[in-house]
Structure formats: C-alpha cells, structure tokens
Amino acid sequence: MGFATAESVVMAGLDLVPVSFAAIEAKERISVENVPVDVYPIGERDEVIEEVKAKHPDLLVIDFTLPDAVNSNAEFYVRNGIPFVMGTTGGDREKLVRDVSESGNYAVIAANMGKQIVALQAMLQYAAKEFPGAFSGYKLDVVESHQSTKVDTSGTAKDIVTSFNELGMPCEEEDIVKVREAKQQMEQMKVPEEYINGHAFHTYTLTSEDGTVNFQFQHNVCGRRFYAEGSVDAALFLAKQMEKKSEKKLFDMVDVLNAGAMR
C-alpha cells in the first residue's frame, strides 16, 4: 500500500520525499517511478527525521502500515509536529483520536481512502441519522475478504456496520466474517486470482425477519491504486487546511468529500 501511494504521489505531479521507514534491519534503496527512495529501519527514525524536516519543511506523511504500529506511529508524528494522513486500520482508535486531538496536530484519519466508498459511507450515515430503526427486525450478515497479510477486521466494514446498527440491525465486530484463504476468496467471494494479494471485497446482506425480503450492498476493489489515489487527495486537502490555518485540525474522509477535494 505504501509503494502504491508513493507511485500515486509521483503520478499526481507532487514532490515525493525520498525517505520511508519499515521493519527492516538495514537501510535499503528502492525506486518509485524512477525516484530513488531510502527506506530506513524503524528504529532509526528519530535520528533521520530531523534531517528530513530540515530539508523538507512542508513535509506531510501518508501512513499505511500494520495495525500494531498505528498508535506508536501517530505518537511519533505528534511528537515531531508532522501532519499526516492515516489510512491504516486497527490499533486503539479511541487513543489515536484522543492523542491527535489533544496535540493540535493536523491529520486526516480514516478507515477507508476510496472516494466512492467514502460517499457510500456518508449516505448510510445520513440514512442512519434521518431514518433510525428503518430496518428493525432485519438480520445483517457481513462478509469481507482481504489479502492474507491483513490481520485485523476491515475498518470500513466496522464503520458501515455502525450505520446499519442505527438503522435497526444489531451486529458486532465478531459477527463480521473475515475471509483470508485464497481458495475461499476465489470460490465464494469471486476474487480474480491475480488480485488475491491485493483486494478488498465486502458484502452486506439484509434479510427480513420472515426471509421474504432481501437487500444486498457490495463494494469490491481489486488492487491498491484506488485507495492510494484517495490518500493523495486527503493529503492535498490537509495541506489546504494548514495553509488557511483551519481551526479544525482533525479530519476524516467525509470532510475531504464535503470539501469537494476528490480529484
């Protein structure tokens, strides 16, 4: 996801800061759209970041990492006064929001960076607010499929389930079915084989109490560019908020959508 985002930064005509951090033992150099990027061990970031900030005073970070790094990464950005876009799901979300809010650091934090999916989320949030309980008595079944390296439950599924809960259908995180085996992904979820290592398929099935009425919502994404491009939109939006010295500093992708900041 990080590599796809870096590609999208270059393709959008923006300056890619040629530095990244990863859980590696020694510095590596990679190429992103012919831009050489130095990848440093995560343990060296406190030393490296000062030089990076000096060379790039307008630094803004886009973060896609593992769930167990969410909070420590956010603490690092806050400690160093670095604005950031967080597309990683998982971690302690309440602590994440609290830490960033209390710091006054500029950030966009969202479980999903895909602009059309954000629009779907916004529509469901609106429906939940305006028509609470509209689906009372209905049963909700949720199945989500991601590449096997995604260890946590889809943050997007959890967010959308919250809206369905308010519409009258109880469903807990443990009720969400996670599909991570390739055979099941291809046979049950119809994921094309070439995208087994990079996809996000979600199905929400709403069934009436007597089983005579059925609604189904799906959003299926092959590859990672869809999310990478949305994260670049979020970064551009955040830069504009900083430029105009917005009093609000913590945003989500619905804020980006409402601002018409989706390319």
Map residue 205 onto helix, strand or coil.
Answer: strand
Residue 250 and residue 247: Cα distance in Å, rounded?
9
Measured in residues, the chain has a length of 263
Helices (H), the chain: 2-11, 45-55, 70-79, 93-103, 115-130, 155-166, 182-187, 225-243, 253-258
- Is 202 marked active-site? no
From 146, 158, 199, 202, the catalytic residue = 146
Residue 50 and residue 13: Cα distance in Å, rounded?
25
Asked if 112 and 224 touch (Cβ cutoff 8 Å), the reply is: no
From 27, 56, 150, 240, the catalytic residue = 150
- Is 146 marked active-site? yes
- The letter for the amino acid at 4 is A
Residue 33: Cβ within 10 Å count:
12
Closest CA to 120 of 61, 179, 202: 202
- The per-residue DSSP string of 33-86 comes to TTEEEEEEEGGGHHHHHHHHHHH-TT--EEE---GGGHHHHHHHHHHTT--EEE
Residue 97 and residue 113: Cα distance in Å, rounded?
17
Return the active site residues.
146, 150
